[in-house]
Structure 1
Amino acid sequence: MHNWLSKFIQRKSRRVCLSLVRTYREISSASVDELWQKVVDIADVSWHPLLKSTNVPYGLVPKPGLIYKAVTRLSPIPIRIFVERVNPRELLSIRILAIPGVEERIIYKVESTVCGTYLSYSVTLKGWLSPLIWSFSRPYADRVARALVDAAEGTALQAVSKKRKLLKDSCFDFIR
């Protein structure tokens, strides 16, 4: 009887579970610190093609266990985002809890190489609704890594231009 019951429970616990994994990788001329600052600034999602705003106060550093809400550009319904793992200047792993039937995990990795700074953006969708959700979110997911790199490089260019302007307007005008 016990053997039959355990087989029955195992059969019941098997459900259709699909998993979709996609990784995007971009190279940037921005430094690791500049790129990492954009990744961990979870209050400013202006660069993100899918997220519109969050309820996080400016300056809050993400730590494991942090749960916050975000509003997408597609619907006004807020979604919950859970920060799973943070390795400073290296990795940020978050889980998105939007609807039952779908589990989404996003991992940002920043690494420095001789060629520049690489940003990896990995999306994992699990659940029986994942093919449907992926068909809607894929065009946006394709643009996330590039938009993040562009935002970090834009911030770096603004900082350099401000420094040049300060030096130009300083008392050392005779150095030119």
Structure 2
Amino acid sequence: MTYSWPLAGTYQALSSASVDLIWRKIVNLADVSWHPLILRTNVPYGFVPKPGFIFQAVTRWIPWPIQIFVERVSPGKLLSIRILVLPGVEERVTYRIESTLCGSHISCSVMLRGWLAPLLWSLIRDYAAGVAAQLAIAAEKDPPKASPPPIDPCLGF
């Protein structure tokens, strides 16, 4: 059975941040401060998303909890999620990251379907266009964290 996604858009951005740094930003579902549409989630810090994981998020516009389902994860390359906002609309968002000669290429595809999809698309289209760019900016602001030096066992008497 094939499903059609009547409303779709793919937005891209280039970043000077490494693919690893961008990937860590995407999969840190507990910190979505960079996202223009999502305010917070109920995901614990340090959790690594896996296919089949379901969590809740709250949008920036109204304090309405939405259900998010992780569909596919290809570490360092792809994260695909489905968002169930309201009965009558379903959204699929796919993040792809690739390393290029010019830096890291971020692609964010947004697809909607359902009888409320045209209304929701008219509301979120401009915000969805900025997701990839906001992710690139957030990843570039976070410097890579150096690991702390190992504790010298000879210094502890």
How high is the TM-score relative to the length of structure 1?
0.78
Q: Which protein has the bigger strand share?
A: 2
- Paired residues in the alignment total 146
Structure-2 separation of matches of 1:79 and 1:52: 11
How high is the TM-score relative to the length of structure 2?
0.88
Show structure 1 runs of 4+ deviating over 3 A.
Answer: none
Structure-2 separation of matches of 1:94 and 1:106: 5
Indicate conservation of the 8 Å contact 2:41/2:57, yes or no: yes
Q: CA RMSD in A?
A: 2.0
Letter in 1 for 2:134: A
Task: Choose from 119, 124, 128 the match for 1:132.
Answer: 119
Indicate conservation of the 8 Å contact 1:25/1:121, yes or no: yes
Is 1:25 aligned to residue 37 of structure 2? no
Aligned to 1:44: 31
Q: Which runs of 5+ in 2 are unaligned?
A: 147-157
Deviations 1:138-171 (A, max 9, x none): 1211111111100000002x758xxxxxxxxxxx
Letter in 2 for 1:94: I
- SS state at 2:76 partner: coil
Task: Choose from 39, 53, 74 the match for 1:66.
Answer: 53
Aligned to 1:166: none
- SS state at 1:57 partner: coil
Aligned to 1:141: 128
Larger Cα Rg: Structure 1 or Structure 2? 1
Q: Which runs of 5+ in 1 are unaligned?
A: 1-16, 161-176
1:18 CA drift (Å): 6.4
Equivalent residues in 2 for 1:64-103, closer than 5 Å: 64-103=51-90
